[in-house]
Amino acid sequence: MKHLQDCTTLNNGVKMPWLGLGVYQVNDGEEVISSVKAALETGYRHVDTAALYANEEGVGQAIRESGIAREEIFVTSKVWNSEQGYDSTLRAFEASQKRLGLEVLDLYLIHWPVKGKYLDTWKALVKLYKEGHIRAIGVSNFQIHHLQDVMDASDIVPAVNQVECHPLLTQKPLLQFCRDNRIQLEAWSPLMQGNLDVPLLEELAGKYGKSKAQIIIRWDLQNEIVTIPKSVKAHRIAENAQVFDFELSDEDMKRIDALHTNKRYGADPDNFNF
């Protein structure tokens, strides 16, 4: 990957840019519109939203006003937990489609593996996919056993698994499982929600003449993990994309891997109550 618009090819042939903009906790209206526009102007072609984030309308508006052809932008949304189940997922998808103002979504994910529901939710995603409303379908916050469960029940293998992943939670066994099964791993909270105070990252930032955020984003890319850092600041949105002009050595990749402590900033997918 040499360029901000370079893509991974998903298991159904759809191309997904390696780097995108996350918009969790970004206000609908002016804030999300200006963030998405700043990203698109910088050259990003990938935006990650969700029904939960309550900013799909602004995301859609920014895309329309950007003047960039719709097909050039990869848009992800997700079905929230309270909407899971077969019929309610179909309705939730339609509502997201309307709020975004988009006929077809590039990627639609099950946001969390809600026990007793996610297999029915998956069936609804498969129907929407087979009818052409979504170019690729996937999951989020799925552990290996959740993925196995879906793969045992369905003829469609999730194209993507979006999980918390960063230097303190490297997700190596899950990454290997996903590679073996042609599921693209995608990192949420790649920047540890801004908790970047890690001496090794500081050292590597100095060594490569890059910021700590850029070191992590580059580490994601070299691990072949799609990454969606969030910022609402145009200068940081630009900074987070300037990661295609340097390469971390194998040794430094391994040193970052060794930071793993199994630290989660978000919930544990095997033990959440929302």
Residues forming a β-bridge with 46: 74
Candidate residues 8, 18, 22, 107; the one interacting with ligand NAD per rule CB under 6 A: 22
For position 140 contacting ligand NAD by CB under 6 A, the verdict is yes
Separation between Cα atoms, residue 211 and residue 233, nearest integer Å: 15
For position 96 contacting ligand NAD by CB under 6 A, the verdict is no
For position 84 contacting ligand NAD by CB under 6 A, the verdict is no
For position 162 contacting ligand NAD by CB under 6 A, the verdict is yes
Q: Which of 44, 53, 108, 118 is catalytic?
A: 53
Assign 74 to helix, strand or coil: strand
Query: Least distance in Å: CB of 228 to ligand NAD?
Result: 5
Candidate residues 123, 127, 236, 255; the one interacting with ligand NAD per rule CB under 6 A: 236
By residue count, the chain amounts to: 274
For residue 226, give Cα distances in angstroms to 29, 90, 119.
Answer: 27, 27, 25
CB crowding 151-163: b at 16 or more within 10 Å, else e: eeeeebebbbbbb
State which residue has the least CB distance to ligand NAD: 22
For position 242 contacting ligand NAD by CB under 6 A, the verdict is no
Query: Least distance in Å: CB of 21 to ligand NAD?
Result: 8
Whether 53 is catalytic is: yes
Say if residues 159 and 10 touch (Cβ distance below 8 Å): yes
Candidate residues 192, 198, 221, 226; the one interacting with ligand NAD per rule CB under 6 A: 192
Query: Least distance in Å: CB of 98 to ligand NAD?
Result: 20
For residue 198, give Cα distances in angstroms to 119, 135, 172, 206, 228.
Answer: 39, 38, 20, 13, 20
Cβ atoms < 10 Å from Cβ of 19: 27
Active-site amino acid positions: 53
The residues binding ligand NAD (CB under 6 A) are 22-24, 48, 111, 140-141, 162, 188-194, 196, 211, 213, 228-231, 236, 239-240, 266
